[in-house]
A and B are shown apart, each in its own frame.
Chain A
Amino acid sequence: MTTYARVAQAAPYGRALPFFGVLVFAILFIQACIVVQARPQDLVTGVHGMIDILSRAWPPKVSKLPDMLWPALETIDIAVFGTVVGVVLAVPLAVLSARNTTPARPLYVLARAAVAFARAVPDLVWALIFVTAVGLGPFPGGLAISIHSVGMLGRLFAEVIEDMDMGPVEALTMTGASRAAVFSHAVVPTVLPNLLGIALYRLDENIRSSLVLGFVGAGGIGFELLSAMNLFDYRTVSLLLILVFAIVMLAERLSAALRSRIG
């Protein structure tokens, strides 16, 4: 018997498994279509409405642009504020919640839990909470982004620290250097470029989140977008969407360019 035949014989689920896999996913998708009440015909009947809105949104109301520059800056700055505060809080939490750098088991558990909680609650919900607590405006938006960033960054930073090469740590410990010196001379320079890259990627994500946060009253372009929608001012809406597109593209390009330079 050839090796191939023996291997094929030894795998009793060989042919049945892919078939059942596809079947399971088909059933999953069908039930999803039923639950979301997917009706493709609505898309066809909705075309008129779409065309109507698009015609009323054209041309974009460029005269409003100067008024929108401040909200645009607000949106970007909410993301900048949230990312910086997020990084500052996430770094110590990551050090505590990485297995190879944590000083004590209880601190590890606490830090892990804090980071997981900050991540589990969506930034939109954090924004609703902070709007209620500190009132309308960009500040609650910044706070929401900060907390959510702590959750995302804390976990990614901890992963980077756990994956790092521990060789330099061992080597410097053997020279008789203090724990703090080993940390700042072996751990920090090894992980810093990775952390910086992750933080820049987070900034780019945060700019997108910050646009949406305005919908719940946390300032910036999102808030203007919501107001224009409520007033059926579609020409302002289209202007804002173009602005959003420009900001998002710019942030993405800038963050990618900076990240490619770290290395």
Chain B
Amino acid sequence: MTSNPIQATNVSLRYPTGRLALDRASLSVAAGELVVILGANGSGKSTMLRCIAGILPLTSGQVHVAGQEISGLTGRGLADARLALGMVFQHAYLVRRRSVLANVQTGTLGRHRTIATSLGFLPAGERDHAIGCLDAVGLSEFAHQRAGTLSGGQAQRVSIARALAQRPRALLADEPVASLDPEAAEDVMRLLRRVSHEDGLAVLCVLHQPDLARRYADRIVGLRQGRMTFDETANKVPSRSVAALYEGLAA
């Protein structure tokens, strides 16, 4: 059986407080596919990503990333498994005082666990690769500028370049456009779609904007109170299914 780069099966997560944040949620993302998770605040969207990334331990179920089971791993094993998994957050999380290029190069640190990189040196020989990744997000002209001088949208694209520098097979994006203006949000979504369609990555993205999801995603998954309510091709999702995600929940 050939498994998809992201494969989550019957994932449940119960917090120590007793709250069931995820209830037997399953989803899979194929190479070259962009899947968006929609859901209200507290529906378990981000929790789902954090479970796939191995940040939160599952109560039950399994997660496979690039064919390797990630649930239950810790330390070095988890770090190795994460090499195949890039992650983009709501904020770019760049080191503001370092150059844009240096920030992108740090994406390759997991593949170069040497004494030199532990001491703060960037991996030798990854410079050209990093420039290529920066070029892929259209920002190579900013390579030698400080990351702190970039706009929010540019910084977010650099953070995607950093994730690409890691040479992942799958990419998780946790509300990557939540703090961007509409135009920058379109840029980032366009980029995520290109990364999946052209570079063949499996991209799983949490969003708050149903319209962006419809326009960019191949498939949309709905989460409500930890349960998956639908998993459909983007243009076949009925509006009422999307509306139902947010109904009766006071914001």
Contacts and interface: CB of A to CB of B under 8 A. Distances in A.
A189 B98 contact: yes
B87 A174 contact: yes
Nearest to A262: B97
Interface stretch (B114-122, B193-201, B204-212): B114-122
A190 to B, nearest CB: 6
Interface residues of B, number: 33
Interface in B54-92: 79-83, 85-87, 89, 91-92
Contacts of B120: 184-185, 188-189
A188 B97 CA distance: 11
Contacts of A168: 93-95
A188 B119 CA distance: 10
A184 B91 contact: no
A251 interface: no
Contacts of B166: 175-176
Contact of A171 (B80, B89, B113, B117): B89
B32 interface: no
Contacts of A177: 79, 106, 109-110, 113, 117
Contact of A185 (B79, B87, B92, B109): B109
Contacts of A180: 118-119
Contacts of B213: none
A175 to B, nearest CB: 5
B118 A175 contact: no
A181 B109 contact: yes
Interface of A: 165, 167-168, 170-172, 174-178, 180-182, 184-186, 188-190, 192-193
Interface of B: 53, 79-83, 85-87, 89, 91-98, 106-111, 113, 117-120, 159, 162-163, 166
21 contacts: A165-B93, A167-B89, A167-B92, A171-B94, A174-B82, A174-B86, A175-B83, A175-B86, A175-B110, A175-B162, A175-B163, A176-B81, A176-B82, A176-B109, A177-B110, A178-B110, A178-B118, A180-B118, A184-B118, A185-B117, A193-B97
Given A168-B93, A177-B117, A181-B117, 16 more contacts: A167-B91, A168-B94, A168-B95, A171-B94, A171-B159, A172-B109, A174-B87, A175-B107, A175-B110, A175-B163, A176-B80, A176-B81, A177-B79, A178-B113, A178-B118, A184-B118
